[in-house]
Structure 1
Amino acid sequence: MESESQPRRRGRPRKARTGDARAAIADAASAEFAEKGYDAASIRGIARRAQVDSALVHHYFESKAGLFAEVVRLPVRPDEVIRPSLEAPDARLGESIARAVLTAWERTSVKSVGVTMLRSVVSDSAAGRLIRQFLMREIKGSIARRLRAGGADAEEADLRATLVLSQLAGALIMRHVLGLEPLASLPVEDAVARLAPAVQAHLDGIAG
């Protein structure tokens, strides 16, 4: 299976026949994601459908995550939000992740479209299923890899990452979709302070 993050080949990528490669790739990706889902779709398959070289897909969109975010018009790249936060030391990891996620959602440009995205995630729509797959692969996967690097086995890392994601998603839904008070109007740093210990406990594998 082709790596979705492999470096682009050297040289100039082959041009699309239509002369509008970017649009052709986006259209092909939309069809590929709808047909196969996020996990099974590949850069190679999207390039083949668009009749371009896979290097051209990487040239315009860098990765499958970037292409998906473009096609679905996500207001923020969750994978890019979470990545820097994972560089925090083990003891501050929960705080780092909570701050990164909650702060990203305070942006006006994110909040309006993001509420629609969250509603879609909890629905049984095709778009909702796609976004859930994206979040599982790109967010939960990143957290699980960080935990494995710290010594957790694969099964335990997956469980802890799932619990972290459930904690964050729950907070976002209660705060931004349901508008549940007093969480909805709590200053973001106060929300981080309250949420971080629970996230840290999941990261550390502490039950109860």
Structure 2
Amino acid sequence: MNGTGARRRGRPPRTESSDTRDRILTAAREEFSERGYEKTSVRGIAKAAGVDPALVHHYFGTKEQVFAAAIEVAFAPALDAPEALADGPPAEVGERFTRFILGIWENPATRAPVLAIVRSAVTNETAAAVFRRLVASQLLRRVAAQLDLPDAELRAELAAAQLVGMAMLRYVIKVEPLASADVEQIVARVAPVVQGHLTGP
């Protein structure tokens, strides 16, 4: 009488919680990547994860909150950027930042989830707002904190704009010859510009 069917009505056991959350987040990233923000639904995420929609709401809340959680996990590798910038001489910070961002995009394991975020963010304002909040609070402000300059936040944003624009053309739109250019050639051309944004006059 106290089988699993009866137990499912309540909260899942703690041993199942982490696995269920991970399954939902993986399904959410895939759904957002394939369908975009607008066409993705909590019901669709639940179906892909093999859970009841109520569990998605239980762990994450609304679709916007699911998206926020999914992109935070997917964007996690980029959040190490401030540490990468701090690890070396100031004169090479532009190159370190450029290599760091390129490294995320060049690695298929990290590129796919970031690509899903970008595609959703450029097609839906709600998704874009969630992405902006994450980038501003978790990345750009922390990068700016590494710069001992009065306009540090603007500098960090300009450097990020340079790198995001490059990434969009190379990995999303795939404009040639940039899409096929050697990574070292890109670093050689882009890093000095990023350095200028971060530390120039």
TM-score by length of 1: 0.63
**CA distance in structure 1 between the partners assigned to 2:60 and 2:71 by the alignment:** 6
Deviation at 1:108, TM superposition (A): 1.8
Choose between structure 1 and 2: higher helix proportion: 2
Aligned residue pairs, count: 155
Q: Aligned pair in 2 of structure 1 residues 100, 128: CA closer, same or farther (>3 Å)?
A: same
Q: Aligned pair in 2 of structure 1 residues 71, 191: CA closer, same or farther (>3 Å)?
A: closer
Does the aligned pair in 1 maintain the 2:85–2:146 contact within 8 Å? no
1:79 aligned partner = 79
2:3 aligned partner = none
2:97 aligned partner = 97
Deviation at 1:160, TM superposition (A): 0.6
Gaps of 5+ in 2: 1-10, 26-55
1:157 aligned partner = 152
- Matched-pair identity in %: 28
Q: Aligned pair in 2 of structure 1 residues 177, 24: CA closer, same or farther (>3 Å)?
A: closer
Deviation at 1:109, TM superposition (A): 1.9
Does residue 19 in structure 1 map to residue 49 in structure 2?
Answer: no
1:203 aligned partner = 198
1:116 aligned partner = 116
Show the 5 A alignment for 1:108-187.
108-147=108-147, 150=148, 152-153=149-150, 156-187=151-182
After superposition, give the CA deviation of every residue in 1:24-66 in whole Å (9 maximum; x if it has no partner): 797556327836x96xxxxxxxxxxxxxxxxxxxxxxxxxxxx
Q: Aligned pair in 2 of structure 1 residues 120, 194: CA closer, same or farther (>3 Å)?
A: same
Deviation at 1:19, TM superposition (A): 2.1
Gaps of 5+ in 1: 1-16, 39-67
Secondary structure at 2:132 match in 1: helix
**CA distance in structure 1 between the partners assigned to 2:59 and 2:192 by the alignment:** 39
TM-score by length of 2: 0.65
Q: Aligned pair in 2 of structure 1 residues 111, 144: CA closer, same or farther (>3 Å)?
A: same
